[in-house]
Protein backbone atom coordinates (compact mmCIF):
# COMPACT_ATOMS: atom_id res chain seq x y z
CA UNK A 1 0.00 0.00 0.00
CA UNK A 2 1.10 3.57 -0.71
CA UNK A 3 -0.12 5.75 2.11
CA UNK A 4 -0.32 9.49 1.48
CA UNK A 5 -0.63 11.01 4.92
CA UNK A 6 -1.48 14.54 5.98
CA UNK A 7 0.59 15.81 8.93
CA UNK A 8 -1.58 18.80 9.82
CA UNK A 9 -0.31 22.30 10.38
CA UNK A 10 1.85 22.51 13.45
CA UNK A 11 4.08 19.83 14.93
CA UNK A 12 4.70 16.11 15.28
CA UNK A 13 1.55 15.58 17.37
CA UNK A 14 -0.86 16.82 14.71
CA UNK A 15 -0.74 13.55 12.79
CA UNK A 16 -3.92 11.47 13.19
CA UNK A 17 -3.92 8.14 15.00
CA UNK A 18 -4.72 6.42 11.69
CA UNK A 19 -1.82 8.25 10.05
CA UNK A 20 0.62 7.33 12.82
CA UNK A 21 -0.35 3.67 12.59
CA UNK A 22 0.32 3.74 8.84
CA UNK A 23 3.72 5.38 9.37
CA UNK A 24 4.74 2.76 11.90
CA UNK A 25 3.73 -0.06 9.53
CA UNK A 26 5.69 1.33 6.58
CA UNK A 27 8.99 0.01 5.30
CA UNK A 28 9.99 3.46 4.02
CA UNK A 29 8.67 6.89 4.98
CA UNK A 30 9.14 9.95 2.73
CA UNK A 31 8.66 13.52 3.90
CA UNK A 32 7.58 15.86 1.12
CA UNK A 33 9.64 18.99 1.69
CA UNK A 34 8.85 21.64 -0.89
CA UNK A 35 5.17 22.69 -0.97
CA UNK A 36 5.03 23.74 2.68
CA UNK A 37 6.92 23.62 5.98
CA UNK A 38 6.20 22.30 9.45
CA UNK A 39 7.00 24.28 12.56
CA UNK A 40 9.37 21.60 13.88
CA UNK A 41 12.56 19.94 12.70
CA UNK A 42 12.57 16.56 10.95
CA UNK A 43 14.38 15.02 13.93
CA UNK A 44 11.39 15.67 16.20
CA UNK A 45 9.11 13.91 13.75
CA UNK A 46 11.48 10.95 13.60
CA UNK A 47 11.65 10.69 17.39
CA UNK A 48 7.86 10.78 17.74
CA UNK A 49 7.10 8.43 14.84
CA UNK A 50 9.93 6.02 15.60
CA UNK A 51 10.92 6.05 11.92
CA UNK A 52 13.70 7.48 9.79
CA UNK A 53 12.29 10.01 7.31
CA UNK A 54 13.58 10.33 3.76
CA UNK A 55 13.34 13.94 2.52
CA UNK A 56 11.52 14.13 -0.82
CA UNK A 57 12.23 17.36 -2.66
CA UNK A 58 10.60 18.52 -5.89
CA UNK A 59 13.17 16.71 -8.05
CA UNK A 60 12.56 13.40 -6.34
CA UNK A 61 8.77 13.64 -6.44
CA UNK A 62 8.61 14.82 -10.04
CA UNK A 63 11.45 12.86 -11.65
CA UNK A 64 12.22 9.97 -9.29
CA UNK A 65 8.75 8.83 -8.28
CA UNK A 66 9.67 5.26 -9.31
CA UNK A 67 11.98 5.15 -6.29
CA UNK A 68 9.17 6.29 -3.98
CA UNK A 69 6.80 3.68 -5.45
CA UNK A 70 9.40 0.89 -5.41
CA UNK A 71 7.92 -2.32 -3.92
CA UNK A 72 4.83 -0.44 -2.73
CA UNK A 73 2.75 -3.27 -4.20
CA UNK A 74 4.49 -5.67 -1.78
CA UNK A 75 5.07 -3.54 1.33
CA UNK A 76 3.73 -0.37 2.92
CA UNK A 77 5.30 2.92 1.87
CA UNK A 78 4.31 6.26 3.44
CA UNK A 79 4.47 9.67 1.79
CA UNK A 80 4.03 12.47 4.33
CA UNK A 81 2.56 15.84 3.36
CA UNK A 82 2.32 18.96 5.52
CA UNK A 83 -1.35 19.89 5.90
CA UNK A 84 -3.68 17.72 3.85
CA UNK A 85 -2.54 15.38 1.04
CA UNK A 86 -4.59 17.22 -1.55
CA UNK A 87 -3.88 20.72 -0.30
CA UNK A 88 -1.34 20.93 -3.14
CA UNK A 89 -2.37 19.71 -6.58
CA UNK A 90 1.08 18.25 -7.22
CA UNK A 91 0.23 15.23 -5.08
CA UNK A 92 -2.49 14.07 -7.47
CA UNK A 93 0.28 13.10 -9.88
CA UNK A 94 1.87 10.54 -7.59
CA UNK A 95 -1.56 8.96 -6.99
CA UNK A 96 -2.08 8.61 -10.74
CA UNK A 97 1.38 7.07 -11.16
CA UNK A 98 0.67 4.57 -8.40
CA UNK A 99 -2.66 3.65 -10.00
CA UNK A 100 -0.93 3.13 -13.35
CA UNK A 101 1.41 0.65 -11.61
CA UNK A 102 -1.56 -1.09 -9.95
CA UNK A 103 -0.34 -0.02 -6.49
CA UNK A 104 -3.12 0.37 -3.89
CA UNK A 105 -3.31 3.90 -2.49
CA UNK A 106 -4.87 5.10 0.74
CA UNK A 107 -5.25 8.81 1.58
CA UNK A 108 -5.25 9.86 5.24
CA UNK A 109 -6.52 13.42 5.56
CA UNK A 110 -5.66 16.15 8.04
CA UNK A 111 -6.16 19.87 8.66
CA UNK A 112 -4.72 22.37 6.16
CA UNK A 113 -4.82 26.11 5.64
CA UNK A 114 -7.77 25.50 3.32
CA UNK A 115 -10.04 24.87 6.29
CA UNK A 116 -7.98 26.27 9.18
CA UNK A 117 -8.28 29.74 7.59
CA UNK A 118 -11.59 29.86 9.46
CA UNK A 119 -9.50 30.81 12.51
CA UNK A 120 -9.71 34.43 11.34
CA UNK A 121 -13.49 34.43 11.79
CA UNK A 122 -14.55 34.40 8.15
CA UNK A 123 -17.11 31.73 7.33
CA UNK A 124 -15.73 28.97 5.13
CA UNK A 125 -18.76 28.76 2.87
CA UNK A 126 -18.21 32.42 1.93
CA UNK A 127 -14.85 31.61 0.30
CA UNK A 128 -14.44 31.38 -3.45
CA UNK A 129 -11.50 30.18 -5.51
CA UNK A 130 -8.11 30.11 -3.79
CA UNK A 131 -5.13 31.56 -5.65
CA UNK A 132 -1.35 31.34 -5.43
CA UNK A 133 0.89 34.40 -5.58
CA UNK A 134 4.46 33.79 -6.79
CA UNK A 135 7.54 35.95 -6.37
CA UNK A 136 7.71 38.47 -9.20
CA UNK A 137 10.89 38.97 -11.18
CA UNK A 138 11.87 41.79 -13.51
CA UNK A 139 10.70 39.78 -16.49
CA UNK A 140 7.94 37.58 -15.04
CA UNK A 141 4.87 38.94 -13.29
CA UNK A 142 2.02 36.49 -13.83
CA UNK A 143 -1.36 38.04 -13.08
CA UNK A 144 -3.94 35.29 -13.60
CA UNK A 145 -4.70 35.46 -9.86
CA UNK A 146 -6.22 38.90 -10.46
CA UNK A 147 -9.00 37.43 -12.61
CA UNK A 148 -9.84 34.85 -9.95
CA UNK A 149 -10.01 37.54 -7.25
CA UNK A 150 -12.22 39.57 -9.59
CA UNK A 151 -14.56 36.61 -10.12
CA UNK A 152 -14.78 35.97 -6.38
CA UNK A 153 -15.35 39.66 -5.74
CA UNK A 154 -18.23 39.72 -8.20
CA UNK A 155 -19.93 37.05 -6.10
CA UNK A 156 -19.04 38.77 -2.82
CA UNK A 157 -16.75 35.90 -1.82
CA UNK A 158 -13.49 35.90 0.12
CA UNK A 159 -10.24 34.86 -1.60
CA UNK A 160 -7.51 32.87 0.12
CA UNK A 161 -4.15 33.91 -1.33
CA UNK A 162 -1.37 31.37 -0.76
CA UNK A 163 2.01 33.07 -0.71
CA UNK A 164 5.04 31.70 -2.51
CA UNK A 165 7.69 29.50 -0.96
CA UNK A 166 11.06 28.93 -2.62
CA UNK A 167 12.94 25.91 -1.28
CA UNK A 168 15.85 24.27 -3.12
CA UNK A 169 15.46 26.59 -6.10
CA UNK A 170 18.24 27.27 -8.63
CA UNK A 171 19.13 30.62 -10.14
CA UNK A 172 18.55 30.97 -13.88
CA UNK A 173 22.31 30.91 -14.46
CA UNK A 174 22.91 27.76 -12.40
CA UNK A 175 19.90 26.09 -13.99
CA UNK A 176 21.16 26.93 -17.49
CA UNK A 177 24.65 25.65 -16.67
CA UNK A 178 23.32 22.49 -15.02
CA UNK A 179 24.94 23.32 -11.70
CA UNK A 180 23.26 21.81 -8.64
CA UNK A 181 23.69 24.99 -6.61
CA UNK A 182 20.60 26.10 -4.75
CA UNK A 183 19.43 29.48 -3.54
CA UNK A 184 18.68 30.07 0.17
CA UNK A 185 15.03 29.36 1.11
CA UNK A 186 12.66 32.32 0.66
CA UNK A 187 9.14 32.81 1.96
CA UNK A 188 6.89 35.59 0.72
CA UNK A 189 5.77 38.03 3.43
CA UNK A 190 2.39 39.74 3.64
CA UNK A 191 3.75 43.25 2.85
CA UNK A 192 5.45 41.91 -0.26
CA UNK A 193 2.26 40.11 -1.29
CA UNK A 194 0.19 43.28 -0.89
CA UNK A 195 2.76 45.22 -2.90
CA UNK A 196 2.52 42.75 -5.76
CA UNK A 197 -1.28 42.68 -5.64
CA UNK A 198 -1.46 46.46 -5.86
CA UNK A 199 1.18 46.52 -8.60
CA UNK A 200 -1.05 44.38 -10.79
CA UNK A 201 -4.07 46.50 -9.86
CA UNK A 202 -2.21 49.57 -11.07
CA UNK A 203 -1.43 47.80 -14.37
CA UNK A 204 -4.87 46.30 -14.92
CA UNK A 205 -6.81 49.20 -13.36
CA UNK A 206 -10.07 47.27 -13.12
CA UNK A 207 -10.90 48.60 -9.65
CA UNK A 208 -10.82 45.15 -8.06
CA UNK A 209 -8.41 46.10 -5.26
CA UNK A 210 -8.18 49.39 -3.41
CA UNK A 211 -5.43 50.20 -0.89
CA UNK A 212 -7.79 52.12 1.41
CA UNK A 213 -11.09 50.25 1.03
CA UNK A 214 -10.17 46.60 0.39
CA UNK A 215 -9.92 44.64 3.62
CA UNK A 216 -7.37 41.89 4.10
CA UNK A 217 -6.60 39.36 6.80
CA UNK A 218 -3.06 38.03 7.18
CA UNK A 219 -2.41 34.69 8.83
CA UNK A 220 0.75 32.85 9.78
CA UNK A 221 1.55 29.60 11.57
CA UNK A 222 -2.13 28.74 11.85
CA UNK A 223 -2.65 25.92 14.32
CA UNK A 224 0.35 26.87 16.42
CA UNK A 225 0.23 28.06 20.00
CA UNK A 226 -0.55 31.64 21.04
CA UNK A 227 3.11 32.60 20.68
CA UNK A 228 3.42 31.48 17.06
CA UNK A 229 0.02 31.88 15.38
CA UNK A 230 -0.61 35.41 14.12
CA UNK A 231 -3.72 36.98 12.61
CA UNK A 232 -3.61 40.62 11.51
CA UNK A 233 -6.50 42.47 9.85
CA UNK A 234 -6.79 45.81 8.11
CA UNK A 235 -7.02 47.56 4.80
CA UNK A 236 -4.41 46.56 2.24
CA UNK A 237 -2.73 49.88 2.85
CA UNK A 238 -2.56 49.27 6.61
CA UNK A 239 -1.17 45.77 6.10
CA UNK A 240 1.49 47.04 3.69
CA UNK A 241 2.71 49.54 6.29
CA UNK A 242 3.26 47.01 9.08
CA UNK A 243 6.79 45.75 9.82
CA UNK A 244 7.26 42.20 8.56
CA UNK A 245 7.79 40.90 12.11
CA UNK A 246 4.20 41.87 13.02
CA UNK A 247 3.04 38.96 10.87
CA UNK A 248 5.14 36.34 12.61
CA UNK A 249 7.26 33.56 11.18
CA UNK A 250 6.47 32.01 7.79
CA UNK A 251 4.43 30.60 6.19
CA UNK A 252 2.15 33.58 5.55
CA UNK A 253 -1.27 33.59 3.89
CA UNK A 254 -3.57 36.46 3.01
CA UNK A 255 -7.35 36.67 2.66
CA UNK A 256 -8.92 39.30 0.41
CA UNK A 257 -12.25 39.96 2.11
CA UNK A 258 -15.32 39.76 -0.12
CA UNK A 259 -18.29 42.11 0.27
CA UNK A 260 -20.65 39.33 1.29
CA UNK A 261 -19.51 40.09 4.81
CA UNK A 262 -21.60 39.16 7.82
CA UNK A 263 -21.51 41.32 10.93
CA UNK A 264 -20.40 38.30 12.98
CA UNK A 265 -17.34 37.98 10.72
CA UNK A 266 -16.56 41.68 11.24
CA UNK A 267 -16.97 41.42 14.99
CA UNK A 268 -14.82 38.30 15.28
CA UNK A 269 -11.97 39.57 13.08
CA UNK A 270 -11.79 43.06 14.56
CA UNK A 271 -9.97 41.60 17.56
CA UNK A 272 -6.98 41.25 15.22
CA UNK A 273 -7.36 44.59 13.42
CA UNK A 274 -4.49 47.07 13.09
CA UNK A 275 -7.07 49.77 13.79
CA UNK A 276 -10.42 48.50 15.08
CA UNK A 277 -12.27 51.70 14.24
CA UNK A 278 -11.00 51.75 10.65
CA UNK A 279 -11.84 48.07 10.31
CA UNK A 280 -15.45 48.68 11.32
CA UNK A 281 -15.79 51.86 9.25
CA UNK A 282 -14.56 50.25 6.05
CA UNK A 283 -16.68 47.15 6.68
CA UNK A 284 -19.72 49.35 7.14
CA UNK A 285 -19.18 51.88 4.32
CA UNK A 286 -17.20 50.15 1.59
CA UNK A 287 -18.69 46.71 2.18
CA UNK A 288 -22.19 47.78 3.17
CA UNK A 289 -22.12 45.49 6.19
CA UNK A 290 -24.85 46.35 8.69
CA UNK A 291 -23.03 46.17 12.00
CA UNK A 292 -24.72 45.37 15.27
Known binding-site positions for S-adenosyl-L-methionine:
9, 84, 87, 112-113, 163, 222, 252
Write out the DSSP string of 183-223.
PPPEE--HHHHHHHHHHHHHHH--SS--TTT-EEEEEESTT
**What are the residues facing 2 on neighbouring strands?**
77, 105
Contact 269, 121 (CB under 8 A): yes
- CA torsion sign for 162, 166, 172, 175 is negative
Enumerate residues 6+ apart whose C-beta is below 8 A from 176: none
- DSSP code, position 135: P
Task: Determine the Cα–Cα distance for residues 161 and 199; give it in Å rounded to an integer.
Answer: 15
Q: Which segments are annotated as binding site?
A: 9, 84, 87, 112-113, 163, 222, 252
**Length of the chain as a residue count:** 292
Give Cα separations from 239 to 185, 215, 218, 288 (angstroms): 24, 9, 8, 21
Write out the DSSP string of 219-286.
EESTTS-TTT-EEEEEEHHHHHTS-GGGG-SSPEEEEEPPS---HHHHHHHGGGBSSHHHHHHHHHHT
Amino acid sequence: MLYIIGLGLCDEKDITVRGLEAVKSSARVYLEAYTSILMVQKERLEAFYGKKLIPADRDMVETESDEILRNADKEDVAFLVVGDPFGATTHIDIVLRARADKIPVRIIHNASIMNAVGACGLQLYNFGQSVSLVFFTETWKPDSFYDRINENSGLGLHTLVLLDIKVKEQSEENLARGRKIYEPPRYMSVPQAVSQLLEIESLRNEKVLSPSTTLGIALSRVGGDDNSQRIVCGTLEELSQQPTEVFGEPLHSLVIVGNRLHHLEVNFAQEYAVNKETWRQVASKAYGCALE
